[in-house]
Structure 1
Amino acid sequence: MAIFLAIYIYIDYRYFDKTLKWADDINQPPPVYVGKYDEIVTPTYKALRHKTLTIQQITQLNQNILWAANAFPAAVLILDKNFIIQWCNRNAKTLLGIDSKKDIGYKIFNLIRWPEFYQYAYKGDWQKPYTTYDERDGRLYHLKFEFTRYSTDNILLLCFDNTQLESLRTTQQDFVANVSHELRTPLTVLTGFLETLRDLPPEAISPEQRVHYEDLMHEQAERMLAIVTDLLTLSTLESTKLANQQSVPIASLIEQAKRQTEVLSKGQHQLSWSINPTLSVSGNAHELSSAITNLLTNAVRYTPANGQIEVFWGLAEDGQAIFSVKDSGLGIAPSDISRITERFYRVDKSRSRASGGTGLGLAITKHIAIRHNAKLMIKSKLNKGSTFSLIFPKENITSL
């Protein structure tokens, strides 16, 4: 009995010793068999393993949330109930100048010092976002702030950069106002003449006057039709992809536009043409013809009588294809060059309307250039003339 008891004690000690050694590093798998201690070791290891996996999943989820928050295209800040910054993403520095390494633990109002923002935050009525403008580094930002209380002690603050959206909204408003303004003038003329012809007795107007009124009304109706046609063209260019691409012999398009240019000029300008007859590019012939015609007719309209207009189509030194129209006209101020391709933007409104332009030609030309991977370059000096160029990359050239 003593021998068996000694053996049992020895074996039990060995199992107990294995259990103790495993207890020093319970993340390792337990021994295969530890006798009666299996009833403790096995469920303990299973519970530990389950909690370890749960912790790993939660850790990975938290990491994914942090990555997503950092990738979010807005400033994301977590505040406590006293508006002290607990965490922020990378965009917080871009939009608000708040550094995730230096500014944690500071009140948000120590870093964003706008009285209106302070009042909005402490008021607690956050159903409507707070919007404001902020100028930094020479750029004007339109910012939108949204507060959300997601727990008793924590607040989520989002700051969106609405600069582009605000610019688009302003552009849309300006566009509607410009369209209304451009159409109002011919409509007013039409209405005036129609009222005159309706209210006056037939004998009060001579046949010559009636013909003159009808010619003026027809002219204004044609003007409205041109505006609507150009607007539809712009809409098509913006909403569709370039189709029907083929090798386009630009020289033949220039020849067609040349006749129209000479008719519009009526011999009042000195026109010179330097055209490569074999140079072609890939694209849509109708669109490219429209762009070429727009640049040529603009040069005639804005160049005084006896002025010079030089037209070039050929290769540049870097191998790109260039169509350029250089005139000795009125020129464009530097402040206007960046906006000259906007819809209805006019440097000289009275002269533009008098020349018959719709104010959409350069906007159309710019969109056509973009669709053909080309660039519309504008160089100009006041009272010294302008040069408008369509530059096509080498890969667009189909034949030399």
Structure 2
Amino acid sequence: MTKTLITIGIWAALGWLTGSWLGASTGWAVFAFGLLLMILVSGLQLSRISKWVRNIEEPPPPSVGPWDEVLAPIYRKLRQDRKEIDELTRQVDVIMLAAEALPDGAITLNESMLLTWCNQTACDHIGLQLEKDRNHSIFNILRAPEFNRYARQSTWPGPVLLHLQNEGQEKSLLVQLAPYGVGRFLIVTRDVTQVEKLETTRKDFVANVSHELRTPLTVLSGFLETMRDMPAESLSAEQKERYQNMMLEQAERMQAIVADLLTLSTLESAPTASGEPVRMSTVIHEALRQAQILSRGQHVFIENIAEDLCVTGMETELASAVSNLLTNAIRYTPKDGTITVSWYRTESGHACYSVQDTGIGIASQDIPRLTERFYRVDRGRSRATGGTGLGLAITKHVAMRHNAELTIHSRLGAGSIFSVAFPPNRVSIEES
């Protein structure tokens, strides 16, 4: 405004000077010309300002006369607001990335319980599709009756456990609903499927251990009570020896169960085994020698063993796995049956240890559960032959620790093949 007044004053002065020299009409003409020129310049400046207004992200046009003092603070304020908006946008992006990285699912709802946002974990848990399910009622999305009753409460002091089917798989979810902000709600979901399975496994394990130890303890207790209550002279030396042998057998059975449980615990304490190259032919020959003693000449053994093939690992663990598969084959193969033991290198570079028998075989529905602790296809036969029910569980853990894979192929009444395949990076050839 000051510049405008000064400019008008200058043209007025020029008009007065010109009027004094050339006459009043000429002076007024000069003054009018000045005002007209100012109007034209002002129009041009307004035109440039109008163009800038359509794209205020750019700096304002320079030299727009009196408008400079108006546009400069406006542009500074716009630039400051833009920086603040950019910073807030970055913070929101960081928060959204953090929400996406959460191991738990997160779902936001408005005051009408309509879905407004969810992270990818929640999509995986419940099967949500954000673009499709946005602004839909959570009660139409999550149709579990337990959730319906839970969500319609006035307060939610704790989570609710839901069992849902998602893509053919059953999932166990802990769902917690909580209010936040004004008229907003947050749902947090946590997948506890594996935790429930582990808890079930733990309960089954405790029950199985109790059951497995109860039988030999009952036998021991019964014999000890019998020998205590009966007069010493009423038992013959032959009966005493028979009772003592049976008690020793049950004590050894409990000892074997405890030893296998300790072995399993040790194997589970570390995910992998490093070790050193182990000459497997030596381990297998020693296991075969012990197996033939256990067989008492009742089985035919066929050997197909590569003598120079080694595996990097723990020799004691590998010996346990080798022995367990041989012992199982003997226990479940009838007299005069054939047991074929192979140790060879495959075309893909893997090293494979396999035990094939002509035994009773295994039904297809039992094969997936064979490596479970204390799982037996034929409990009576396993106990009669001294099995603890932990051999295949130990073998599976030994294989896992050596990055190997245990596979089982069997047909009821036609025998079985148990194989452990070691990866190429653990296989080596011993130089002569």
TM-score, normalised to structure 1, is 0.90
Q: Which position in structure 2 is the counterpart of 1:104?
A: 134
Structure 1 distance, partners of 2:311, 2:144, is 56
Q: Letter of the aligned partner of 2:150 in structure 1? A: Y
- Of 379, 385, 410 in structure 2, the residue corresponding to residue 380 of structure 1 is 410
Task: Judge conservation of contact 2:273–2:401 (CA < 8 Å) in 1.
Answer: no
Q: Which position in structure 2 is the counterpart of 1:197?
A: 227
Percent identity of equivalent pairs:
47
Question: Where in structure 2 are the equivalents of 1:233-382 lying within 5 Å?
Answer: 233-240=263-270, 242-243=272-273, 245-382=275-412
Whether 2:399 is the aligned partner of 1:391: answer: no
Whether 2:204 is the aligned partner of 1:174: answer: yes
CA RMSD of aligned residues (A): 2.8
Q: Which position in structure 2 is the counterpart of 1:2?
A: 10
Which moves more between the two structures, 313-322 or 255-264?
Answer: 313-322
Task: Judge conservation of contact 2:146–2:162 (CA < 8 Å) in 1.
Answer: no
Q: Letter of the aligned partner of 1:2 in structure 2? A: I
Say how many residue pairs are matched: 400
Structure 1 distance, partners of 2:423, 2:45, is 81
Which moves more between the two structures, 292-301 or 21-30?
Answer: 21-30
Q: Deviations over 1:310-337 (max 9, x none)?
A: 1111122333221110001111111111
Structure 1 distance, partners of 2:226, 2:12, is 131
Shift of 1:305: 1.0
Q: Which position in structure 2 is the counterpart of 1:215?
A: 245
Whether 2:112 is the aligned partner of 1:76: answer: no
Which moves more between the two structures, 240-249 or 156-165?
Answer: 240-249
Q: Which position in structure 1 is the counterpart of 2:160?
A: 130
- Of 61, 67, 78 in structure 2, the residue corresponding to residue 48 of structure 1 is 78
Secondary structure, aligned partner of 1:329 = coil
Shift of 1:76: 2.4
Shift of 1:302: 0.9
Task: Judge conservation of contact 2:115–2:135 (CA < 8 Å) in 1.
Answer: yes
Secondary structure, aligned partner of 2:353 = strand
Which moves more between the two structures, 93-102 or 120-129?
Answer: 93-102
Shift of 1:40: 5.1
Structure 2 distance, partners of 1:42, 1:324, is 85
Structure 1 distance, partners of 2:409, 2:245, is 38
- Of 81, 87, 102 in structure 2, the residue corresponding to residue 57 of structure 1 is 87
Q: Deviations over 1:12-53 (max 9, x none)?
A: 969976877766644334578888877655544443333222
Structure 1 distance, partners of 2:228, 2:181, is 73
Shift of 1:183: 1.2
Task: Judge conservation of contact 1:22–1:28 (CA < 8 Å) in 2.
Answer: yes
Q: Letter of the aligned partner of 2:269 in structure 1? A: S
Structure 2 distance, partners of 1:209, 1:235, is 39
Task: Judge conservation of contact 1:322–1:391 (CA < 8 Å) in 2.
Answer: yes
Unaligned runs of 5+ in 1: none
- Of 168, 184, 194 in structure 2, the residue corresponding to residue 154 of structure 1 is 184
Secondary structure, aligned partner of 1:268 = coil
Q: Which position in structure 2 is the counterpart of 1:140?
A: 170
Secondary structure, aligned partner of 1:294 = helix
Shift of 1:362: 0.7
Which moves more between the two structures, 142-151 or 260-269?
Answer: 142-151
Structure 1's 115 and 242: CA in aligned 2 closer, same or farther, altered over 3 A? closer
Secondary structure, aligned partner of 1:324 = strand
Q: Deviations over 1:207-228 (max 9, x none)?
A: 3322222222222111111111
Shift of 1:241: 5.1
Q: Which has the larger radius of gyration?
A: 2
Structure 1's 33 and 198: CA in aligned 2 closer, same or farther, altered over 3 A? farther
Task: Judge conservation of contact 2:107–2:117 (CA < 8 Å) in 1.
Answer: yes
Whether 2:97 is the aligned partner of 1:89: answer: no
Unaligned runs of 5+ in 2: 1-8, 15-33
